[in-house]
Structures are given as C-alpha cells and as structure tokens.
Amino acid sequence: MSENNQLHKIVIVGGGAAGLELATSLGRKLGKKGLADVMLIDGAYTHIWKPLLHEVAAGTLDEAEQVQYLAQAYHNNFRFRLGKMEGLNRKKQEIYVSPTLSESGEELIPKRTFSYDTLVMAIGSISNSFGIKGVEEHCLFLDTTSQAFRFQKQMVESYIKNHAGKDTAKKKPLSIAIVGGGATGVELSAELHEVTDLLAIYGLNKSSNVKLTIIEASPQLLPALPSKLAKATQDQLAKLGIDLKLGCRVIEVTKAGIKTLDGENIPADLKVWAAGIKAPDWVKRLDGLVTNPINQLVVDETLKTIDDNIFAIGDCAACPWPGHEKNVPPRAQAAHQQATTLCKSIINRLSGGPLLKYKYLDYGSLVALGKYSTVGNLMGNLMGTVTIGGFIARVVYLSLYKMHQIAIHGYYRTALLTLSNLFRRTAHAKIKMH
C-alpha cells in the first residue's frame, strides 16, 4: 500500500485475536479500496491465538499455526510495523514506538512516531503478580508466544537433565507447579501430563518421574465455571495424578518453591504463574486516558475511550456489560465480537455514520484437557445453559479457533490449513524437542 497522507489513518496497536482480526477486516474493506490507510503495530513477528499458548508451552502445537504479520498484511491490504508502543500524545494524535533491539542489544529500528486519525488499542493482557514477592524473579509466564517458547525450552532441558541423572533410584521427580486454577492453568497441566506420557514412549523419561501441581486460591478449580463442571474437571485431573492444592493462597515464590499462607512450602523445579491478568503498567501513563485498577482502558458501549479518536478492544478494554455488575470478561469470544463490531463502527465513522453499541453474547465456557477430555457449558436463547462434555465439547472448542482462522484467512484457506495440518501430524513428531 502506498503512503498517502490524505487517507484516513487507522492505527491498531496489538496483533492478538482482536487486533489482527480488525486489521484484516479493515484492510479488506477499506485498505483494498484505497479508502483508508490501515496499520498494525506489534512487538512480535508472528501471531498465535492466545488460548493455544499452553500447547506452545508444552511443545505440542504445530508451528505451522503461526501467522506471519508481514505476509498477512501483504495479502490483506494493510501495513505492519514491528515495535512496542511506549507513549501517546492525544493533542498531536501521535503514538511513540520504542526502539527495536536484537537479542544482543543492538538497535535494529530506532524510536519512531506514527500519526493517526483513529487509534485502536488492542494490546491484550499480561499476568498479574499481585505484588507477591518473588513471582517476577522465579516464575515463568505464558502471556506471549516468546514466553511460551521459553517455558517449553526450559521444560525440555529440565527433562533431559533429570533423565540423565547418575543415581536414578535416589533421584527426585521433576516438579512443575502451576499457580492459578483457571482455564490456562488447568489446560496446561493436562497438556504437560500428555507430554510426559509421550516422552516415556520416546524413552526419555517416565511419567512417574514428573510431579504436576496446581495451586489455586479459590476452593474450586475454574472459579468462573459452574461448580458441577469444576468438580468434573477436578475428578479428571485427579485421575491423571495431578496434585491439586485448592484454597491455598501464595504469599511468596522462591528459587526452591512456593510458600502458601497456611505455612506450606511446595517444592518446584519449574514454576508457572497463571493466576490473573492485567493490562501492562505503561497503559496507566497514556496521556490521561482513564484506566481501572488492573490498567484496562475504560470504554463505553461503543468501545470508545474518553477520547473520540481512541478505541480499545480485547483484554485491555474495561467494557461495560449491561445487566451485570462486572465488565465483559477477557475471553477470546469477546475479542472476536468486539473486532467485528468496531470494524463496522470505523467504516461508519469514515462516512459520518453512528458508532455501533457492542453487546456481549456469552456463548459459554469450554476447557480442553488435552486428549483426555473437554468440559464446558453452552449458553443460548433456545436451550438456556447446557452442560456438555467429551467429543461434542471438543468439537465446539475447536470451532472457536476455526472462527478466528476464518476471520483472518477466510473459509477456503482455513479449510486448506486444516487439511495440511492433519497430514503434517502424521509425519512429524507429536512434541517439539528443541
């Protein structure tokens, strides 16, 4: 796309589910016709749907699932710029992007300034450590693809080190503790258990030499789900031999393990923090934009901030949920819906039309326990709330990802990608070992 200062400049910061879907849709509907200049900014080169990061961490996700931002931009008539936003000037309608550095610290791209007519913040969320001592220093996080790959590398190295120990009779099991019994923690634990079985098949380790523990402050797993579903999940994880520490509040994390309020010290070689989310801290300093206690940008029902030219979608947005005491939950289905609504609003905005009100449609919650099970509840006007499990739940769970793929690739390419991945899995190892 050519540089044209006369075109309406739409800048989208963040290439997660919401940001990438919005950039793709606007590129097709406005960029292709020369009606607007659409730009996406992200600090990574590739995109992976965030609910799949636990599979990246376990090494079971096919790397072909990654979307290259530059290629996506080229095929869908928007521009991609690599970088991380660090500041905003609302009066000048400019954003500031930090220098991009190599792994050795060399400056690859200098600090830049981009102007906008419409700015969309879609930067997602990060883990909330709640100020607990030692979390930042000793825990691994799964907020980004790079963090998930880092965990996967450390996990494999730990497995190899544990397997190669001299005295296997006296050797302690490799211990992995996951703090947080929400969807991320539960799905990661099941995926890691599957990986230990695969490693045993490959001859590298025995599943009995790995101890998995979930630590959750609430008295039940999956606090956001009905107690019946939470109990079913707990029973399934217990069958897998995963140790569940429920009603345990973490007060400190050390190199050796995790300390709880009741005085227990849980040893762990690898520690994963998945106990809550917040928007990045720098969001609080965005030139007077209003944020809530977890740094999310406060928006109205049209997804607009206090600035008429700035919108927010996805996990970084504190969006009202009429009829409920809380905001719209930070879920992939909400991000997808918000991107769809805001796309229509921005198109209207360019022609002087009204902004649409976003209405969250809660289709329920689903949690996949690897190959073992999938549980969840579906919500609809005709049937009310329906509990589902097994094969049907797995199909519905996968359909959520297919909706995301269709939004960014279209029906034809999504079908081809699905077929190619099925063939690839028959020829490639089931887990990534490097």
Query: Do 293 and 401 lie in a common domain?
Result: no
Query: Do 262 and 294 lie in a common domain?
Result: no
Query: Do 310 and 382 lie in a common domain?
Result: no
- Among the three residues 360, 395, 412, which one is the final residue of a domain in this structure? 360
Give the closest residue to 375 by CA, choosing from 355, 391, 361, 360. Answer: 391
Look at residue 433 and tell me if it is in a domain. no
Looking at the chain, how many residues does it have?
Answer: 434
Query: Do 87 and 157 lie in a common domain?
Result: no
Query: Do 205 and 109 lie in a common domain?
Result: no
Tally of helices (H runs) and strands (E runs) in the chain = 9, 26
**According to the model, what pLDDT value does residue 2 have?**
37
**According to the model, what pLDDT value does residue 434 have?**
39
Please give the Cα distance from 290 to 319 (Å, whole number).
Answer: 12
Query: Do 323 and 399 lie in a common domain?
Result: no
**According to the model, what pLDDT value does residue 236 have?**
87
DSSP helix/strand/coil, 328: coil
- Among the three residues 226, 249, 273, which one is the final residue of a domain in this structure? 273
Look at residue 1 and tell me if it is in a domain. no
Q: Are 82 and 30 in contact (CB under 8 A)?
A: no
Query: Do 96 and 143 lie in a common domain?
Result: no
- Among the three residues 231, 256, 273, which one is the final residue of a domain in this structure? 273
What is the domain-level CATH number for residue 212? Answer: 3.50.50.60
**According to the model, what pLDDT value does residue 374 have?**
59
Please give the Cα distance from 348 to 377 (Å, whole number).
Answer: 35
Look at residue 24 and tell me if it is in a domain. yes
Query: Do 253 and 161 lie in a common domain?
Result: yes
Look at residue 3 and tell me if it is in a domain. no
Query: Do 118 and 146 lie in a common domain?
Result: no
Beta carbons within 10 angstroms of residue 287's beta carbon: 14
DSSP 86-141: EEEETTTTEEEEPPEE-TTS-EEE--EEEE-SEEEE----EE--TT-BTHHHH-B-
CA distances 207 to 29, 57, 198, 301, 413, Å, are 51, 18, 9, 49, 38
Number of domains in the chain: 3
pLDDT tens for the chain, 434 residues: list them.
Answer: 334 458 999 999 999 999 999 999 999 999 999 999 999 999 999 999 888 888 888 877 766 688 999 999 999 999 999 999 999 999 999 999 999 988 888 999 999 999 999 999 999 999 999 999 999 999 999 998 889 888 888 887 887 776 665 555 556 788 999 999 998 899 899 888 887 766 655 455 554 578 899 999 999 998 877 788 888 889 889 988 999 999 999 999 999 999 999 999 999 999 999 998 999 999 999 999 999 999 999 999 999 999 999 999 999 999 999 988 899 999 888 999 999 999 999 999 999 999 999 999 887 666 767 665 555 555 444 334 555 555 555 666 677 778 888 989 888 888 887 777 666 555 444 444 33
List % helix, strand, coil for the chain (3-state, nearest 5): 35, 25, 40
Tokens 């034809």 belong to 412
Q: For the CA atoms of the chain, what is the radius of gyration?
A: 22
DSSP helix/strand/coil, 175: strand
List residues bridging with 389 in a β-sheet.
Answer: 375
Residue 100 belongs to domain spanning: 8-125+279-360
Look at residue 21 and tell me if it is in a domain. yes
**According to the model, what pLDDT value does residue 429 have?**
42
Query: Do 101 and 169 lie in a common domain?
Result: no
Look at residue 228 and tell me if it is in a domain. yes
**According to the model, what pLDDT value does residue 380 have?**
47
Look at residue 335 and tell me if it is in a domain. yes
Phi first, then psi, for residue 260 (nearest 5°) are: -110, 165
Look at residue 419 and tell me if it is in a domain. yes
Query: Do 156 and 228 lie in a common domain?
Result: yes
Residue 163 sits at the vertex; the CA angle it makes with 157 and 166, to the nearest 5 degrees, is: 120
Query: Do 99 and 30 lie in a common domain?
Result: yes
Give me the torsion for CA of 234, 238, 391, 424, rounded to 10°. 120
